[in-house]
Structure 1
Amino acid sequence: MQRRTFLTGTVLGAAALASVPALSAGASAATVTVGSLADLQTKINEAKAGDRIVLADGTYTVPSDNPITISGKAGTADAPITIVAQTRGGAVLQGAKSFVLGNSSNITISGFAFRQSTTLEIPANCTGIRLTRNDFRFADVSGLDWVVVRGDNTKIDRNHFHDKTTEGIFVVVDGPGSTAMAQKPHIFKNYFSDHSYAGDNGGEPIRLGVSSRALSSANGVVEYNLFERCNGDPEAVSVKSSGNTIRYNTLRNNRGGIVLRHGNQSTVEANHLLDGTDGVRLYGNDHTVVNNYFGGLSGRALVIGSGTTRDHHSGETTEERRGNDACDRAVIVHNTFVGNARPVSGEERTYAPQDAVVADNLLVGSTGTLVDMKETSGFHWQGNILWGTAANGSIPSGGYRRVDPLLRQESDGVSRLSAGSPAIDAATLGTLILAEDIDGHPRGSARDVGADEYSAQAPLRRPLTVSDVGPNAS
């Protein structure tokens, strides 16, 4: 696939820039264009809610001892203070640092090309910060995490993070102190590409939490992002906190997958995982995995993980917390697996996964084994459909039937149900409330097996492409 370079993107006129929301009665806002870092700093210092400061195109070297400082500035939710490049990617910020934020709220930073050599941090004393339509390609420094979020209500959207060959993470969400999480981070419509670090840890595009924060809920949402050639880690989205939602993303040609590595009560919904190595791995308790499509993965599509401990708890040592928490009470329903090397598999550790519901999934394969679980306890299998010359494996006889689901592969590479498929209206799990399928079509009261609900209508959601994400996305 041809890669776009956003530095030569469309020039923005005033009409192309997102309009500033209306201010409350009696307020005023200003738009001003500046051509130097000194003038930019002056206008930031003077800025009020609703103001827009435009930095003229050019390459700016930010002094390490004099970064662009945003301190004690407050926009509002409806009228943020916006600092924007004249054209998307046209204002290039190089040097050790760019923006340094502190004690500020409702600030939007948009359209810059970041080329710095140290971390861009959103500290815990900042709320409502938004990074949008930027191009991130920091210096290729080993161990450098590019964007670290500790403040609540942060939005990171329509950016391109790309080209790293060394250890380090594109986006880290942490929080204040050592155990809390930043609340309600929203990461959406970004393009993550070309991370080629060859190590086994520390090269994720997104890490949502860390071991010490695993039991804290972040209520984060990671959605509508595209990941391509993200090979710096076996985890493209690494979740190490609780209460998060990972949905509507496309992972294509990556080594890494979506991994609920630590934490509880997260949802993995309606993602496309295509032509890479790994898919989804689960550890921790009470997760939901629903409506996902796994296609052409050469490694393990879905792993229901075992543990070195039954459950993580607040009294653990640091070393104990790093261990794997066995996957308990997962609900794994309405997923489709087509042409994967190992569709559903387990692991062998001291504590087996237990009490999972694995129902109404569709598994099709021509080689290997469709279900290769190791020791489990209290699993409930029902309503699954298996097909192809691959062996059934360890799925119990009452948990599936073998029947041709009559799949048809469409132009986007996804195999969907044909009219007359025995999967139509054949779902059996009555306790699940599910409004839509992976395509955005309504499920109705009689649901189909797998991620796709048969429809003659065109999908409302398809696998994402580069035109759907990044600085020029709608």
Structure 2
Amino acid sequence: MKFIFSSSLMLFFFLQYSSCAKAIEADSISNNTEKQMVTAKTYTVANSAELNALSLQPGDKVIMKSGEWKSQLINFKAKGTAENPITLVAETKGSVILTGNSNLKIDGEWLIVDGLSFKNGFSLKDDVVVFSKTTSNSRLTNTNIEDYNPSDKTVDYKWVSLFGKNNRVDHCSISGKTHQGTTLVVWLDDKANYHQIDHNYFGPRPDLANNGGETIRIGTSTYSMNDSYTTVENNIFDKCSGEVEIISIKSGYNKILNNLFYECVGTVTFRHGNHSEVGNNYFVGNGITNTGGIRIIGENQKVHGNYLYKIAGRTLRSAISIMNAYENPALSDYWKVKNADIQYNVIVDAREAFVLGAGKDGTRTVAPDGVTIANNYVINPTTLLVTQDDPKNLKIENNQLDGGTLISGFVKMGNDLELSDGVWQKKNASKKPFWLNTAIGPGWKKDNRSFIFK
């Protein structure tokens, strides 16, 4: 009994000690958190030298004084935390004007840049805004890049380069790029990066008349068989006509969702990689020559719920174009379309609604395999279906047509659709187009926007 009692007593004291230790540890964590919050500092800086000299800690805030910041090379380098990010913010949103040869490097973890404006200048060497390769969970928001062009239009630099992982570009206005190079690039390596690009206004970009004028490119040919998992959502692309590809997808498992492509002379293109999705977007061509829709290359791509209005392009720029491929493609070539799933799209007044085997020639000889075109609605097409090559395992079924000659896989349209906010939508499931009730671009900047269905 005595031994049992002593063991019980020892157990009692051990439990009491453990409880006290945990309480002390919890108090210590709480005190450390409170200390961290208390010791977070706010700095006000007038130039990049003052900013670059700071040793920033989680929770710190750096305020950039209002005015012109001419030829300032800003290196925002620090490590925040999820609970206490480090912020770099304009004293008044939009009042910090970066001119001359200014640029910005975001380098670290849990960093936020808010409210800057780049204009009246151009970059000499680096891209205008760069998220470094080691940057993660960081954000560029409420920022403007406008007409930041060199006089030599052949100079190639990007306006935003996204390296690293889990970074976000949102509520920015990026407009008027006239020189060579993609506007925004998601750079890929051998690991997925999970970036998010949302609620931005991408303003007019004129045709470069050659390759390299995409508004967004996700990946490169070199890493095109790797997966990115980037989401591009709730953005406006206004007359972004730099080249045939408005968005060029060159990696796997990306999502292009609920964006507006307004009078863009080009297409959203699954250029390389597999398993990506283009869904619930609005393509408004208004009958402008060479306006395009969606071009499909690769395996297991999904195209669903998109609204395509007066797309005037043909073949590679048709409303929905399914391409032919090379026999033994290199990474930079055209790869075979396999298992493309095209459903629940609404196509109105298109010059060519669907093209099969688009681009067939002496080298692009491999037809698509396993294409499904089902449950789509087509209204008044000039041409419903163009077949440049015969796909294998083609399934066309349960599509509805109004204002054209019925072919196999299409039936006369019933009364499923209604016109709401200028858009033909399914009855009892209509929604207001996002740009009518959602804040797009910087809250402090009002871009000249007018999106009319003509």
**Aligning the two structures, in what range does the TM-score lie when normalised by the shorter sequence?**
0.7 to 0.9
Tell me the CA shift for residue 168 of structure 1. Answer: 1.8
Match of 1:140 in 2: 149
Asked whether the 8 Å contact 1:207–1:239 carries over to 2, the reply is yes
Match of 2:379 in 1: 364
Query: Secondary structure, in 3 states, of the residue corresponding to 2:248?
Result: strand
Asked whether the 8 Å contact 2:296–2:322 carries over to 1, the reply is yes
* Aligned mates of 1:39, 1:403 — CA distance in 2: 66
Q: Verify: 1:112 aligned to 2:123, yes or no.
A: no
Tell me the CA shift for residue 99 of structure 1. Answer: 2.2
Asked whether the 8 Å contact 1:124–1:175 carries over to 2, the reply is no
Distance 1:262 1:458, change over 3 A: closer
Q: Verify: 1:240 aligned to 2:250, yes or no.
A: yes
* Aligned mates of 1:361, 1:458 — CA distance in 2: 16
Asked whether the 8 Å contact 2:93–2:115 carries over to 1, the reply is yes
Match of 1:18 in 2: none
Which residue, 414, 427, 444 being the options, matches 2:423? 414
TM-score (norm 2): 0.80
Identity %, equivalent residues: 28
Tell me the CA shift for residue 94 of structure 1. Answer: 2.1
Match of 2:181 in 1: 168
Match of 1:82 in 2: 87
* Aligned mates of 1:378, 1:406 — CA distance in 2: 28
Distance 1:406 1:69, change over 3 A: closer
Asked whether the 8 Å contact 1:167–1:199 carries over to 2, the reply is no
Tell me the CA shift for residue 88 of structure 1. Answer: 2.1
Aligned residues: 389
Deviation string, structure 1 residues 288-347 (Cα, Å, up to 9, x no partner): 11111111111111001111147x6xxxxxxx2221112110111111111111111121
Q: Verify: 1:297 aligned to 2:311, yes or no.
A: yes
Distance 1:199 1:465, change over 3 A: farther
AA of the residue aligned to 1:143? D
Match of 2:449 in 1: none
Tell me the CA shift for residue 97 of structure 1. Answer: 3.5
Tell me the CA shift for residue 405 of structure 1. Answer: 4.0
Match of 1:376 in 2: 391
AA of the residue aligned to 2:92? T
Query: Secondary structure, in 3 states, of the residue corresponding to 2:256?
Result: strand
AA of the residue aligned to 2:133? A
Query: Secondary structure, in 3 states, of the residue corresponding to 1:230?
Result: coil
Query: Secondary structure, in 3 states, of the residue corresponding to 1:26?
Result: helix
* Aligned mates of 2:238, 2:437 — CA distance in 1: 10
Asked whether the 8 Å contact 1:364–1:386 carries over to 2, the reply is yes
Q: Which has the higher helix share?
A: 2
* Aligned mates of 1:344, 1:210 — CA distance in 2: 27
Which residue, 421, 443, 447 being the options, matches 1:472? 443
AA of the residue aligned to 2:44? T
* Aligned mates of 2:174, 2:266 — CA distance in 1: 16
Query: Secondary structure, in 3 states, of the residue corresponding to 1:46?
Result: coil
Query: Secondary structure, in 3 states, of the residue corresponding to 2:35?
Result: coil
Match of 1:221 in 2: 231
* Aligned mates of 1:370, 1:123 — CA distance in 2: 47
* Aligned mates of 1:352, 1:473 — CA distance in 2: 50
AA of the residue aligned to 1:32? Y
RMSD: 2.2
Deviation string, structure 1 residues 167-221 (Cα, Å, up to 9, x no partner): 2211001134xxx355101000000011013323211110001111110000110
AA of the residue aligned to 1:278? G
Asked whether the 8 Å contact 1:92–1:113 carries over to 2, the reply is yes
Q: Unpaired segments of 5 or more residues in structure 1?
A: 1-22, 313-319, 417-451
Which residue, 59, 68, 72 being the options, matches 1:59? 68
Tell me the CA shift for residue 404 of structure 1. Answer: 4.5
Match of 1:283 in 2: 297
Asked whether the 8 Å contact 1:109–1:130 carries over to 2, the reply is yes
Which residue, 338, 349, 367 being the options, matches 2:348? 338
Match of 2:135 in 1: 126
Tell me the CA shift for residue 51 of structure 1. Answer: 1.4
* Aligned mates of 1:250, 1:323 — CA distance in 2: 28
Distance 1:414 1:25, change over 3 A: same
AA of the residue aligned to 2:373? V
Asked whether the 8 Å contact 1:150–1:175 carries over to 2, the reply is yes
Tell me the CA shift for residue 467 of structure 1. Answer: 6.4
Distance 1:344 1:173, change over 3 A: same
Tell me the CA shift for residue 35 of structure 1. Answer: 3.1
Asked whether the 8 Å contact 1:149–1:182 carries over to 2, the reply is no
Match of 1:37 in 2: 48
Query: Secondary structure, in 3 states, of the residue corresponding to 1:38?
Result: helix
Distance 1:473 1:331, change over 3 A: farther
Match of 2:195 in 1: 185
Tell me the CA shift for residue 241 of structure 1. Answer: 0.6
Aligned pairs for 1:10-21 within 5 A: none
Match of 1:351 in 2: 366
TM-score (norm 1): 0.77
